[in-house]
Chains A and B, each alone.
Chain A
Amino acid sequence: MAASSSEKIDLTGIMVPADLSPSDFLIVTPVVIPIIFGALLVMLRSKPNWQSPVAITGLILAMLGSFGLLQQVIANGPITMTMGRWLPPFGISFTADLMGALFAFTGLFVALSGLFYSRFASTTLERRYGFYPFYMLMMAGVSGAFLTGDIFNLYVWFEVLLISSFGMIVLGSDRVQMDGTMKYAFLNLIATTMFLAATGYLYGMLGTLNMADIYAKLRSTDLQGPAYTLALMYLLAFGMKAAAFPLNFWLPASYHTPRIVVSAVFAGLLTKVGVYALLRTTVMLFGEQRDALATGIAWIAGLTMLVGVFGALAQTDIRRIFGYLVISGIGTMMAGIAVATQTGIAGTVIYAVHSMIVMTALYLTVGAIGRLCGSTDIREAGGVYAMSPMLAVAFLVLALSVSGLPPTSGFWSKFVLVKATLEIGAWWLAALIMISGLLTSIAVFRIWIFAFWRGGPEGTRDGAEAWTRVNLESGYRLNAGLAIGLLMFASFAIGLAPENLLSISADAARGLLHPTAYTDSVFGGLPQ
């Protein structure tokens, strides 16, 4: 009875008609594979030695999937898959455009390097407490946020990555971590709740949650006043997630407290998810409203840059210095959002890719410095240059990169952003990017002078060598070297041959500012 009546229903107006080819499933691989492997790792929790190889296998597969997705998006434009084949905007769409696919690939690459580092560095206790399942689920959340085409679904992915990040940041539960987690958890939860409130209003106003549909409906609605309120609420919520001034205080309070790998992937990925969401909402969806807020965003950008570098200059702990440099980088990315020309958005995209790679790598080098010197404080560390020349080379390249000097990825990303600000005549914003770059180089090269060049802890005379040889385990050297080396070479390679990334980010910016290809891919040429 039920079967016969369902056959009579004409599905053409309800379901997506086309059958999917296997390559269409690439879009869900960066999300589904980490979830499956995360579940598998929970089942294998009594086997701490299996955790790391299984997790690495999972992330390699997910990274290959996202690489295939990126290739396909470069070749054919944005790809959409709507869950359950419900016709968009009713089904939840996954839409990979160039920016999302590029970020997903970079994110998984960075996370894979982090896993290599943790292969030796994570203790059996941490493995038993579920470090690897948390890690995989966080990556599922990060990739899901980059690829989803539905704003409520974006909220869900934010929560997935947030709850896993809570598990990771508190792992070890010593007193400093408890304190850091407290601030991290409360402020991030408030930010995502703000995001949810804005989404509730958006749904009440437009009656849709699909981003392509929101884009179309916002441009035909006469409710312009509420649209400005919504743009501002999204700016507030995602600005808080991205740690933009004046909502940045949770970041330096918490990012130096957890395990080094955790700090590294947080610094590399989580704030960048906030920047991604800002690009998606304020630039793509609320383009017109962003234009009105541009001056305000430029102020936020400038102040975030300065607060970040001045904070970095005032610290002695290397991990805390890098925490502030993350904030400074967020300010630089916000400058591109404030400009929002095609060059500006391209600059933000390329800077986000650069920052994911370099901030993660820098935190991993701190882990190595901490193991060599027994401290991550620049007053107590010293002699790393003599102890590990390879680490010194890696740190030097990364320091050049984070300061924005050639021949590294940092140079090109800042170059594009400065060019964008000068094109619209915002010379003061260009000057701020330069000044923050100069101050960043002072902050990182101070680490170089104290921790690498000085022969030992504070008080060591010039030329004297007061360090004691620490023989790191060969397993640690191999894995940390692999992780830091991979990331350093990525930054170096982008610096030497930036053409590919420059053209991809320019296309991504074009797709974000004129998202006709995006909306066409969602609605697939269907009559609306």
Chain B
Amino acid sequence: MEVYLAILIGCFFTVSIYLLMSKYVIRMLLGVGILGNAVNLLIFTAGRITREVPPIIPEELQIPAELTANPLPQALVLTAIVISFSFFAFLLVLGFRSYQDLKTDDTETMRFAEPVDSPKPPLGY
């Protein structure tokens, strides 16, 4: 199971990095979305996958009697999902507003903060 998930995670990372290297903001946004999911799957897989053994401790014991599913990665993934979702939402709005204001979603022409023809510094005193 871990092997197949590892291959899937690899595909996710490949796709997201390919999209992030695009010049267009909308593709970069898709890349960010997939990157977040790739990392979530990675944490999920890194916590080892044990099926059908819920982590419930019998009343008379202090620790579980047998190997159970690991609940911690799910807590980590839950946190990471919330965070990556909120960031994605922010970036989506930012991308849309920039498209409205800057009239472009091509990062090559997005040179307002660092103009191409910025002046040379004074050479004498």
Chain A positions near chain B (C-beta within 8 angstroms): 5, 9-10, 13-14, 152, 156, 159, 162-163, 166, 170, 173, 175-183, 185-186, 189-190, 193, 196-197, 199-201, 203-205, 252-254, 256-257, 313-316, 378-379, 446, 449-450, 458
In whole angstroms, what is the CA distance A176 to B98 when docked? 10
A313 and B121 contact, Cβ closer than 8 Å, known pairs A178-B97, A189-B32 = yes
Interface size on B, residues (CB 8 A): 45
Which residues on B sit within 8 Å (CB–CB) of A156?
Answer: 79, 83
Assess whether B76 is in contact with A152, with CB atoms less than 8 Å apart: yes
Chain A residue nearest to B88 in the complex (CB): A189
The 8 A-B residue pairs whose C-beta atoms are closest, nearest first, are A204-B46, A200-B43, A179-B112, A180-B113, A179-B113, A178-B98, A200-B42, A200-B46
Which residues on A sit within 8 Å (CB–CB) of B20?
Answer: 186, 190
Which residues on A sit within 8 Å (CB–CB) of B76?
Answer: 152, 200, 203
Which residues on A sit within 8 Å (CB–CB) of B95?
Answer: 182
Assess whether B125 is in contact with A181, with CB atoms less than 8 Å apart: no
- Option from A159, A173, A186 in Cβ contact (under 8 Å) with B83: A159
Q: What are 12 inter-chain pairs, A to B, with CB distance below 8 A?
A: A159-B83, A159-B87, A176-B112, A178-B101, A178-B102, A179-B113, A186-B32, A200-B76, A201-B46, A204-B46, A446-B121, A458-B122
Chain A residue nearest to B44 in the complex (CB): A200
Q: Which of B102, B111, B112, B113 has the most CB of A within 10 A?
A: B113
1/0 per residue, CB under 8 A from A, across B107-125: the answer is 1001111100011111001
Assess whether B91 is in contact with A316, with CB atoms less than 8 Å apart: no
Assess whether A182 is in contact with B35, with CB atoms less than 8 Å apart: no
Assess whether B86 is in contact with A196, with CB atoms less than 8 Å apart: no
Smallest distance from the beta carbon of A492 to chain B beta carbons, Å? 27
Which residues on B sit within 8 Å (CB–CB) of A163?
Answer: 86-87, 90
Assess whether A203 is in contact with B94, with CB atoms less than 8 Å apart: no
In whole angstroms, what is the CA distance A33 to B76 when docked? 26
Main secondary structure of the interface of A (DSSP, over half): helix
Which residues on A sit within 8 Å (CB–CB) of B28?
Answer: 186
Smallest distance from the beta carbon of A355 to chain B beta carbons, Å? 23
Q: Which of A14, A176, A252 has the most CB of B within 10 A?
A: A176
For window 7-49 of chain B, which residues contact chain A by CB distance below 8 Å?
A: 20, 25, 28, 32, 35-36, 38-39, 42-43, 45-48
A253 and B114 contact, Cβ closer than 8 Å, known pairs A163-B86, A163-B87, A186-B28 = yes
Assess whether B39 is in contact with A173, with CB atoms less than 8 Å apart: no
1/0 per residue, CB under 8 A from A, across B32-73: the answer is 100110110011011110000000000100100000000011
Smallest distance from the beta carbon of B54 to chain A beta carbons, Å? 19
Q: Which of A166, A178, A180 has the most CB of B within 10 A?
A: A178
Which residues on B sit within 8 Å (CB–CB) of A379?
Answer: 119, 122
A449 and B43 contact, Cβ closer than 8 Å, known pairs A185-B91, A186-B91 = no
Assess whether B42 is in contact with A176, with CB atoms less than 8 Å apart: no
In whole angstroms, what is the CA distance A186 to B90 when docked? 11
Chain A residue nearest to B119 in the complex (CB): A316
Assess whether A179 is in contact with B122, with CB atoms less than 8 Å apart: no
Assess whether A315 is in contact with B121, with CB atoms less than 8 Å apart: yes
Smallest distance from the beta carbon of B65 to chain A beta carbons, Å? 17
- Option from B43, B59, B79, B91 in Cβ contact (under 8 Å) with A189: B91
In whole angstroms, what is the CA distance A254 to B76 when docked? 31
Which residues on B sit within 8 Å (CB–CB) of A253?
Answer: 113-114
In whole angstroms, what is the CA distance A181 to B97 when docked? 11
Chain A residue nearest to B25 in the complex (CB): A182
In whole angstroms, what is the CA distance A190 to B120 when docked? 32
Smallest distance from the beta carbon of B59 to chain A beta carbons, Å? 7
Smallest distance from the beta carbon of A280 to chain B beta carbons, Å? 19
In whole angstroms, what is the CA distance A253 to B113 when docked? 6
Smallest distance from the beta carbon of B86 to chain A beta carbons, Å? 7
